[in-house]
A = this chain, B = another copy of it.
Amino acid sequence: MDSVSFMTPKEARQMIRDNQWIKPTAGVASGYTQANLVILPKKYAFDFLLFCQRNPKPCPILDVTDMGDPHPPLFAPDADLRVDLPKYRVYRYGELVEEPTDLLHLWNEDLVAFLIGCSFTFEKALLQGGIPVRHIEAGCNVPMYKTNINCKKAGPFEGPMVVSMRPIPEHLVVKAVEITSRYPNVHGAPVHIGNPSSIGIRDLENPDFGDRVVVGENEVPVFWACGVTPQAVAMHVKPEIMITHAPGHMFITDVLDENLR
């Protein structure tokens, strides 16, 4: 653990705000919950919030800002979502147009920001429970797949659930379910255990997003709902503007992982 691990969330966000940390946030302010960011125009806000309410496993809402207000009231009221993430992605009509380090030139009264739970929290709990997490061991991205599980539609937002896969040793599968069940705000228990084709995944070797990982002998592929789902669903609507965190460049909240349970 290096010094950024021991920073408070406030110190970490100040460093990021000052553009002194333009890289992924894994390990920064260790122990504090990190969140996915989705920003949409207010005309989509009700339907998107409703989509998340109807699909809490892939879209666990942690916090939502008031219209035009960049401060997340529950998870970090002092933070400013326009400047406190290391890197953002800006999409116009579904096309990536910019990867800025702040949103000061883009933010306006018409925008609403959503913070959505991220799997960092439960992966840490798995590791602390003695359960290996393959893509962390391998130093790559978690493999993610589109499934045949349809999310519940809300207004224009609809689409398949995206899942992430972690190979778990057979004798630890129950424990992995138990541990992740305790974290409903970060995807909770798995959505499927064992048979990829049952949820419409044809080829485990070819994830739709992220990297391939090896499933060893006496290991079972275990699938959790994935926070890429709400982004994919929003993208599909091609809103005039949509802003997200850049992959891995998350928002660091004031809430301890332990208090998220």
Give the number of copies in the complex: 2
Query: Inside 8 A of A42's CB, which chain B residues have their CB?
Result: 46
Residue in B46, B73, B74 whose beta carbon sits within 8 Å of that of A45 in the complex: B46
A interface residue count range (under 10 / 10 to 19 / 20 to 34 / 35 or more): 10 to 19
- Smallest distance from the beta carbon of A142 to chain B beta carbons, Å? 27
- Does A162 reach chain B (CB closer than 8 Å)? no
A201 on the interface (CB 8 Å rule)?
A: no
Asked if residues B66 and A54 are in contact (CB atoms below 8 Å), the reply is no
Residues of B contacting A54 with CB < 8 Å? Answer: 64, 73-74
**Cα–Cα distance between A45 and B44 once the two chains are bound (Å):** 12
Q: Tell me the chain A residues, 36-77 only, with Cβ under 8 Å from chain B.
A: 42, 45-46, 49-50, 53-54, 61, 64, 66-67, 73-74
Contacts A/B (CB < 8 Å), 21 sampled? A42-B46, A45-B46, A46-B46, A46-B49, A46-B67, A49-B49, A49-B50, A49-B53, A50-B64, A50-B66, A53-B53, A53-B61, A53-B64, A54-B64, A54-B73, A54-B74, A66-B154, A66-B155, A67-B155, A73-B152, A74-B152
